[in-house]
A and B are shown apart, each in its own frame.
Chain A
């Protein structure tokens, strides 16, 4: 099986350790949900994978490309969408997508067609030439998601992608992510909405105190937690994370 992401022995310390000896493997073509309480190290881990934060030690490999030795090669394969949309208020969605496509060196004509398709899918066609400054948080998030998809990344990393979205927009984004995985793409996301992970993720990783506490399918996590079949992910999550926090 091809691995989309391999993380080995990843460490990062700020004032205190944020990520400690983290090992993680994400298979190509799966949707992997990384869960954890606030301050668990989820975002730091994903930022290190995306090349935004330098790890103190450890290895990150994206589709076989060593992200530390060949950052440009690794970055060409991935997209990163954080919870705060990385957009420019003074640009229109179309102008924003033009810029992002330029950064990934996409052929202009193909990029424009793709941008228009994405905006249509996300219900933003009528807003395509209006500046983002008046947009709601949900609309901005949708523009950012379009930006993440414009270069057709092999690995899509999303940090709390559903924050601020209304029910319809959240459903739209979830459907897009599922369609992407169905088409062979790989998606890693963090979320505090455990139901989303429960329903969408092929595998789930639970991180607490900078360490991976458990990993696997929902059934595997249930059995690791020693819970009877039928308990929700929330029960499993709370049990595993409380064990990590307990002295």
Chain B
């Protein structure tokens, strides 16, 4: 489909950029086609209905500009900005590494500044749309019902997207300068994951701080605000004023967002281009020093060692696993607190969650080791039986899971050894089962496609989830001491695994079918 703009114009280039972004987004979805469309429409309708109720509720009321409302508006904007930053930071690195079209664009008669400006603008539009679309559905009824000035929220969001993109680009540039182009991608992905996880951890403050401490802190803040003890710094209420349409704060916020963006996209544009060129083959990684290790003996050990090396050097995978490890932190806190003060059945939920997460991490790792094998032909021409190689890959996938689980289970074992034992058994069974499903229902993919791996095999993704839930349930029941009831999900899980099982011949036949 041709783009409805004059070729080589900024609008044409931006439309091209957005088309690629949209196709990348669609390719990364679990489902596509009418089902996904209906799901989006339903979700949109729910938000719109919420918006209508909101519009009716606030009709005739103005937002009071008081410390509490200002703090809430500041917090919302901070959350949105940070989430946008996590998107744009990773996207800035991806724009250099995963989209290999910069050489094509720079070799064309288009001005490099225009190319970079549009690419940066594409990042901003991408980040902004995630918030603008739901905001439009939520706020349009209120705007139509009389709060015309609230349309300024869209302007604030656009300015935030521009500002976040600018900061993302500047951070990427700083990383380039500090650690070199290749490591930037890794660090950017890890930082993006950490920013995302920070919100999860913040939402888990009750688990981290304990119910009493968190409640008293929250009550204290509310009281201080009511009594006027919290004095807001100057201009702290400007985000709220801008959102409700006051012209000066709105103009200032737009100027700040656009200014950061223009500074990043245009002033640093040339350096961005140089950094991009530096990633196209320049080698910055130094050779390892010190004595070389002895070679591993035999195919099994060599394969385990090779897989562990590849896993430890995979930036996307590390950031995903890191995220899941961070998810375990509040669980570990909750488990230790419950184990210390509550009866043992209170540990059932956290134990189930640890078991579930073990399956998820194992599922990711087995996808990397089995389905994302870089050189399947090399393995196929070797005389080593495929059975040995698969066993080695499963082992390599389970070793990091065991290392990750060691911490929460060790904490649990300190307080409640029996609960720790059941959790360890449940987590091991879930991880092992996820690994087997990954082997039985492997579907070759590229390592770079890790984030969209679930699209590879819907059945195996669903099966992994089901098995993780079943083993999680069995673990919870065992931890609570209801051993007989724990057998029930175990039996169902066993039956599901039997139904999913494939022989080597069946796996080979499925792979051949997929290849043709």
Contact = CB atoms under 8 A, between A and B. Distances in A.
Contacts of B310: 88, 90-91
Contacts of B288: 92, 129-130
A129 B283 CA distance: 13
Contacts of A147: 378
A214 interface: no
B384 interface: yes
Nearest to B286: A130
Interface string A152-175: 000000000000000000000000
B235 interface: no
Given A72-B385, A103-B382, A86 B282 contact: no
Contacts of B289: 129
Interface string A31-53: 00000000000000000001110
A103 B302 contact: yes
A75 B375 contact: no
A176 B287 CA distance: 26
Interface residues of A, number: 47
Interface stretch (A3-11, A108-116, A192-200, A225-233): A108-116
Contacts, number: 118
Interface string B364-396: 000000000011011111111100000000000
B381 A108 contact: no
Contact of A103 (B297, B378, B516): B378
Contact of B381 (A14, A51, A99, A134): A51
Given A98-B296, A131-B285, A90 B309 contact: yes
A126 interface: yes
B377 A112 contact: no
B383 to A, nearest CB: 4
A130 B285 contact: yes
Given A98-B305, A101-B295, A102-B302, A134 B285 contact: yes
Interface in B272-304: 281-289, 292, 294-303
B377 A86 contact: yes
A80 interface: yes
B281 to A, nearest CB: 7
A86 B375 contact: yes
Interface string A74-116: 0110111010001111111011001111111101110110010
Contacts of B305: 98-99
B512 interface: yes
A95 B374 CA distance: 15
A108 B375 contact: no
A121 interface: no
- Looking at B300, B306, B378, B385, the one whose CB has the most chain A CB atoms below 10 A away is B378
A18 to B, nearest CB: 12
Contacts of B313: 90, 131
A101 B377 contact: no
26 contacts: A14-B516, A75-B382, A78-B381, A86-B375, A86-B378, A88-B310, A89-B374, A90-B314, A91-B306, A95-B306, A98-B295, A99-B306, A100-B378, A100-B382, A101-B295, A102-B295, A102-B301, A102-B302, A103-B379, A107-B297, A109-B295, A130-B285, A131-B285, A131-B313, A134-B281, A134-B283
Given A87-B374, A131-B313, 19 more contacts: A50-B381, A72-B385, A90-B310, A90-B313, A92-B288, A98-B296, A98-B306, A100-B382, A101-B302, A102-B295, A102-B296, A103-B299, A103-B303, A103-B384, A105-B384, A112-B295, A133-B285, A134-B282, A147-B378
A-B pairs, 9 with minimum CB distance: A102-B302, A134-B283, A103-B382, A108-B295, A86-B375, A76-B383, A129-B288, A90-B313, A75-B383
Interface of A: 14, 50-52, 54, 72-73, 75-76, 78-80, 82, 86-92, 94-95, 98-105, 107-109, 111-112, 115, 126-131, 133-136, 147
